[in-house]
Structure 1
């Protein structure tokens, strides 16, 4: 291969692209926009590792959880209380700060400690508090705003965060968390144990999201191929051979790809700024987070032009450019099926050895996972042209619009397949991922033991606010609350200090205790021993002596040599047995049930109070009213909503990332298809004008364009469904999970792809109408 000859021919093609007149520039712009959209998404993908790193860096820097419970008050310590809340489903990170000396550490993002009654807030929270509909939230966070939190203390532009000043804090275990810290941050970060199945799912997500992008870039560099090939025929007249002609064509594609890199970079920079003001599913970022990895960005800059040259050279192998024309209209040889089947079969062969691997047999081979999924999806792009050709070749008569569409598809089935390839690949990957996520969801979802039918919210009081009885009254009067139940818990030991045996007890009035057990009869002063069938027999044998009538126990027994905190209590002469309810408000209740007057008066100060609430579903903001009341009753209370299940954060984050990525890919699919459709209409302007001049109705031509899109997309979605189901089943087998098909999800994925194509077709109708004019017959 002569490098000089290649360089000269490629350079000549680049010159032709930029000096080809109006037609050449239109083709260049279309190619650049198509390639640019793909490049922008690729650059965004290369920035993902930096996004995760930047967010983790901020999270580690502001970490305020300490495992050391023996930190003493000093000049360099700060007391911190967690006062997180939520507003209409949005989490709000709240902290109360009380510095204990001149050297007290500051959390990242703030320059000074706010005074009592003041707070510094994130810009997003400031906007929210100043909005018209946030009256309840302002009552819940009643501090005066004196400053903003810098970006260094936030993980996203829309994160809701505040730091407020406080006095009189002290570490305790009731209600919210209150700690004494010597420094913020995570000094010894321990890597989270990796989950092989989640890593495998992450790899598949990246391949599935990026593969349609690569397909669209490959299709974009072939825009205007028919006109370009006719122009190249003129070069044969002046002496160029077929190889030189192909290299010149590759040079034109290279020019479009290079311009596409520039356009893509501009799109990315615009999108980067937009991302700073956007929020998707509660996630937001700063533009500075979206800095692509230099190595990956360089790889994109090299791979896209190289792919443009390679794709053009491969495409030109099927075209004979002669001095007097292009031999493209002759009947082409039928596409062969055997080699197209080799791609998906090779992908299956790469993935099959990992069937049954699961999460207990170490990590999956990442190269086999990526290679296998990649080959299966590439197999869709290889099989679809054969399928379209095989089907449209057998289609026959019908309406005029149908016959026009079928004949066009028969003449250029490859072009129709190229337009649909990206959609088919995206849908196939989406179906496989939907099956995988649905199949393993139960493995990352666990039961909480809470029954939302019994209570919808629970509030843990800290003891620094109103007494439990007064708090319960305030909650009962809160708008949206139907019923409030207060239960207090404590521990009683058999010895004054360091007891070997201790028993838990629950305090409440008779109505409240009936929410825990089935009581035969109840009056204030009664004590009951809970009977919990099926509970650990050894533990029950240890605590049973402490529940006998007349037994002497100590409430809140002390540890070590500390004295004076324990409270002596003698159980009454009668302790009846009460069976625990299966739907008890408490999880796994054991020990004693005690009415208030049966306890020593001073025992109330060492109990942990919980308020259980049943809400009125007809009140839209019932939860918000409860959280606001909780903040008024006890600033350090911790309200939370009951749910029957909870999911792994890593699984939820991956699913959220998949959704955001899918939105971006669908937007790219729609934009690229629209550009491709406009390019196709431009190529056929004279033909459409000629048909109109011969009396063809505009409605007929419009329907023919719709049929030309509908037939390939139907075949593409059918093929995508088959490949997606096969890939999804194989991935589930690899995760050692039973194969199940959620047909509603499969149909929704296929419907989403069809909806994008329908929207693109409708958007292309106005340009089609403008092209169907007599002026389209003019030539230069």
Structure 2
């Protein structure tokens, strides 16, 4: 057999796929829709690396604080940048205050001109929010006039909230942290950070778990229209085609549907790419222009999908006898063998076994072994499920009419039923394993913030130069603020510049000071030296000698301080440090307002601990607005007891977004598959109705035909998913625990999708259950 004969037979099959009249077109279209949905998701997946790369490049290009190259003195190219970000409800707003110091100062990406003081340039999403009723409270916090919008090159996504506001007077506040002087944005010397091996393992498993159901659905879609195809194959044998040629023509028909599926998949991808710009999932959005599939990966999809269609069809027909008078498929088939089906998951476990106990301390996990092992375990679900369905339905007994119709249909075509639920079973198995892995390692990436949320709900830092007493009064008048603890602090040293002994001075009334120390007695004018502070190592005792000359706000390196001299008074009291609301035992000196030297007041940085009234829904927003009015560069931080590592949280977000897409594909593909099966059986359904079978009975039978395979598939998926999850936990050197809530939730989601698909297929089923369906030409 030469390639020319293969090409001729496949081409004939492609022609048959589109020249069989309405039936042929419907069959080809169903196949193409199923394949197209899978192809679209594969193309979107291949575009993810491009989108992530674009987001990283844009993030680096606009970076300024902490990573920007800071310069010491002003120049024609220098620019002062301060952190002016805020949070509105649950959305973070990236904000920067800009003050150019020369005519050639570099603009941030996406900005055409510097805003003047009282003006700001915002992203389109932030502009929409500020002009809406929802953003009324935020507009009070950002009163500047909007003079422009930030271009796409300066944003990570269309839904990102970003602003650049004009400012002045930033030169005196340069500290190399929240306020910096720079001559360009970005960090050209940044080097890629090595990812944690466990996080890398999570990413690998997520990609395999999300893409495997797509491949299963594509393989199932190319086998649509099996019964009509059987009659055509018999006719081909009748006109002289041999069995091998007939199988190649059948493969050509599947190839035609797959090629049309590639076209539809490209259309679906373009539509999905445009729609991606309108969605904001967990604060993640992308521009359509960023979703560019890798040419090599896109070519791989374009070649692999048609090739898979041909191979799957030839594999499906390997045990089918095609004769001129019909296809011998209704005879009792040989029982499926179990031994080779067990080899696949066992081989997957064998590939993962060498990495058991490796954890994060023994280098990266072998990517090929991880990918291959997880892939074989999930493929094991698709190979075991047909055997499980055949074995179980073969032993089901008698029941009602609907039950008997469903069971008999499953006994005759258990393979078709298994194919329909293979994708959902694979998705659920992978999801269970991932949820177990996430739950097992979550504690390693979740840290306690140390904040005592029972003592405060928010901490506001108002920088030096502000009226601390006036700020405290403003917060007390703010709607929803129930309690305010006002403390101020400033550094203290034994020398004017770069002191070798240094500590801190905290100022507050007696009630506020009792939040950081156990005071023996207190009245205005008292000064205390703290004992038992963390990391003190006797420094406070050395500095607290009466009469010693110390300096408030000394200078360090390039950072200029006020260098205010202060003599330790003779009437110094001692106090024991306790944990403050931040969970820290302070060291140094505590001063009541009456003991603060007047020249030191402008050097104090205000720390305010706020407690909110839970009956006021927007108390947090009112407090943030008040802090912005007191100091536009104030840092208002709402407290939480724990915080997750950003990369771990980002990977979990990516899993959620990917799982949402895959679940949508699962539902759509299951619906297409269900409609295709109903269409093939319309004459049988019409005959049953004509003989007096109740429609309720037929509807129940369709429900049982769906429920039995999906129940078996979910049980198998649970077993395989828990096994894979346990192995992955052992690989990360984490104790094996079963997160039953995740297992039950994933199983419930899978069952809910099938129930939804069954409900959507009932209207077409009722239309098909008419005696008129027996008419033919």
Q: Does 1:272 align with 2:269?
A: no
| Counterpart in the other structure of 1:777 | 774
| Counterpart in the other structure of 1:53 | 53
- Out of 706, 709, 730, the position equivalent to 2:706 is 709
Q: Please say if residues 175 and 638 of structure 1, whose CA atoms lie closer than 8 Å, have aligned partners that are also in contact.
A: no
Name the count of aligned residue pairs: 776
Distance 2:86 2:706 in 1: 50
After TM superposition, give the deviation of residue 167 of structure 1 in Å. 1.8
- Out of 625, 647, 654, the position equivalent to 2:651 is 654
Q: Does 1:442 align with 2:415?
A: no
| Counterpart in the other structure of 1:512 | 512
Q: Please say if residues 175 and 636 of structure 1, whose CA atoms lie closer than 8 Å, have aligned partners that are also in contact.
A: no
Q: 1:189 to 1:446 in 2, by over 3 A?
A: same
- Out of 582, 598, 601, the position equivalent to 1:601 is 598
The C-alpha deviation readout for 1:523-556, integer Å capped at 9, x for no partner, is 11112222327x44xx422332112444332212
Paired residue secondary structure (1:485): strand
List aligned pairs for 1:88-167, cutoff 5 A: 88-167=89-168
Distance 1:12 1:562 in 2: 80
After TM superposition, give the deviation of residue 647 of structure 1 in Å. 1.3
Moved more, 761-770 or 475-484: 475-484
After TM superposition, give the deviation of residue 736 of structure 1 in Å. 0.9
Aligned-residue CA RMSD in angstroms? 1.6
Paired residue secondary structure (2:537): helix
Q: TM-score, normalised by structure 1?
A: 0.97
After TM superposition, give the deviation of residue 471 of structure 1 in Å. 0.3
| Counterpart in the other structure of 2:26 | 26
Q: Please say if residues 70 and 176 of structure 2, whose CA atoms lie closer than 8 Å, have aligned partners that are also in contact.
A: no
- Out of 607, 611, 619, the position equivalent to 1:610 is 607
Q: TM-score, normalised by structure 2?
A: 0.98
Q: Please say if residues 93 and 161 of structure 2, whose CA atoms lie closer than 8 Å, have aligned partners that are also in contact.
A: yes
Q: Does 1:591 align with 2:588?
A: yes
| Counterpart in the other structure of 1:557 | 554
List aligned pairs for 1:161-560, cutoff 5 A: 161-170=162-171, 172=173, 177-465=178-466, 467-532=467-532, 535-536=534-535, 539-559=536-556
After TM superposition, give the deviation of residue 569 of structure 1 in Å. 1.6
The C-alpha deviation readout for 1:251-279, integer Å capped at 9, x for no partner, is 00000000000001101100100011111
The C-alpha deviation readout for 1:317-369, integer Å capped at 9, x for no partner, is 12111100110010111000000000000000000100011111111100000
Q: 1:758 to 1:373 in 2, by over 3 A?
A: same
Q: Please say if residues 233 and 246 of structure 2, whose CA atoms lie closer than 8 Å, have aligned partners that are also in contact.
A: yes
Q: Please say if residues 16 and 252 of structure 1, whose CA atoms lie closer than 8 Å, have aligned partners that are also in contact.
A: yes
Distance 1:164 1:590 in 2: 38
| Counterpart in the other structure of 1:665 | 662
Q: Please say if residues 501 and 543 of structure 1, whose CA atoms lie closer than 8 Å, have aligned partners that are also in contact.
A: no
| Counterpart in the other structure of 2:622 | 625
After TM superposition, give the deviation of residue 581 of structure 1 in Å. 2.5
Q: 1:733 to 1:562 in 2, by over 3 A?
A: closer
Distance 1:38 1:568 in 2: 73
After TM superposition, give the deviation of residue 571 of structure 1 in Å. 2.2
Distance 2:561 2:186 in 1: 37
Distance 1:458 1:250 in 2: 68
Q: Please say if residues 540 and 587 of structure 2, whose CA atoms lie closer than 8 Å, have aligned partners that are also in contact.
A: no
After TM superposition, give the deviation of residue 604 of structure 1 in Å. 1.4
Q: 1:70 to 1:551 in 2, by over 3 A?
A: same
Q: Please say if residues 176 and 462 of structure 1, whose CA atoms lie closer than 8 Å, have aligned partners that are also in contact.
A: no
The C-alpha deviation readout for 1:403-448, integer Å capped at 9, x for no partner, is 1111111110000000000000000000000000111111111121
Structure 1 unaligned segments of length 5 or more: list them.
none
List aligned pairs for 1:742-757, cutoff 5 A: 742-757=739-754
Paired residue secondary structure (2:133): coil
Q: 1:375 to 1:384 in 2, by over 3 A?
A: same
After TM superposition, give the deviation of residue 463 of structure 1 in Å. 2.9
Distance 1:584 1:766 in 2: 61
After TM superposition, give the deviation of residue 29 of structure 1 in Å. 0.6
Q: Please say if residues 222 and 313 of structure 2, whose CA atoms lie closer than 8 Å, have aligned partners that are also in contact.
A: yes
Paired residue secondary structure (1:336): coil
The C-alpha deviation readout for 1:586-638, integer Å capped at 9, x for no partner, is 62312222212222111112222111101111211111111111111111111
List aligned pairs for 1:574-585, cutoff 5 A: 574-582=571-579, 584-585=581-582
Distance 2:452 2:152 in 1: 40
Q: 1:741 to 1:71 in 2, by over 3 A?
A: same
| Counterpart in the other structure of 1:762 | 759
The C-alpha deviation readout for 1:700-748, integer Å capped at 9, x for no partner, is 0000000000000000000000000000010011111111111011000
Distance 1:345 1:171 in 2: 68
Moved more, 163-172 or 604-613: 163-172
Distance 1:404 1:147 in 2: 67
Q: Please say if residues 14 and 255 of structure 2, whose CA atoms lie closer than 8 Å, have aligned partners that are also in contact.
A: yes
Moved more, 590-599 or 489-498: 489-498
After TM superposition, give the deviation of residue 580 of structure 1 in Å. 2.4
Distance 2:589 2:609 in 1: 19
Paired residue secondary structure (2:523): coil
Distance 2:645 2:344 in 1: 36
After TM superposition, give the deviation of residue 449 of structure 1 in Å. 1.3
After TM superposition, give the deviation of residue 68 of structure 1 in Å. 5.1
Q: Please say if residues 518 and 576 of structure 2, whose CA atoms lie closer than 8 Å, have aligned partners that are also in contact.
A: yes
Paired residue secondary structure (2:111): coil
Distance 2:75 2:304 in 1: 58
After TM superposition, give the deviation of residue 175 of structure 1 in Å. 12
Q: Please say if residues 553 and 561 of structure 2, whose CA atoms lie closer than 8 Å, have aligned partners that are also in contact.
A: no
Moved more, 549-558 or 70-79: 549-558
Paired residue secondary structure (1:764): helix
Q: Please say if residues 69 and 187 of structure 2, whose CA atoms lie closer than 8 Å, have aligned partners that are also in contact.
A: no
Q: Please say if residues 175 and 559 of structure 2, whose CA atoms lie closer than 8 Å, have aligned partners that are also in contact.
A: no
Distance 2:187 2:500 in 1: 35
The C-alpha deviation readout for 1:675-718, integer Å capped at 9, x for no partner, is 00000000111111111111110000000000000000000000
Distance 2:629 2:181 in 1: 24
Q: Please say if residues 580 and 586 of structure 2, whose CA atoms lie closer than 8 Å, have aligned partners that are also in contact.
A: no
Moved more, 548-557 or 481-490: 548-557
The C-alpha deviation readout for 1:129-177, integer Å capped at 9, x for no partner, is 1101222111111111111111000010011111111222225368981
Q: 1:704 to 1:171 in 2, by over 3 A?
A: farther
Distance 1:752 1:562 in 2: 57
Paired residue secondary structure (1:699): helix
| Counterpart in the other structure of 1:8 | 8
Paired residue secondary structure (1:134): helix
Distance 2:699 2:594 in 1: 85
Distance 2:114 2:580 in 1: 46
Distance 1:283 1:506 in 2: 41
Paired residue secondary structure (2:96): strand
Q: 1:234 to 1:559 in 2, by over 3 A?
A: closer
Moved more, 633-642 or 701-710: 633-642
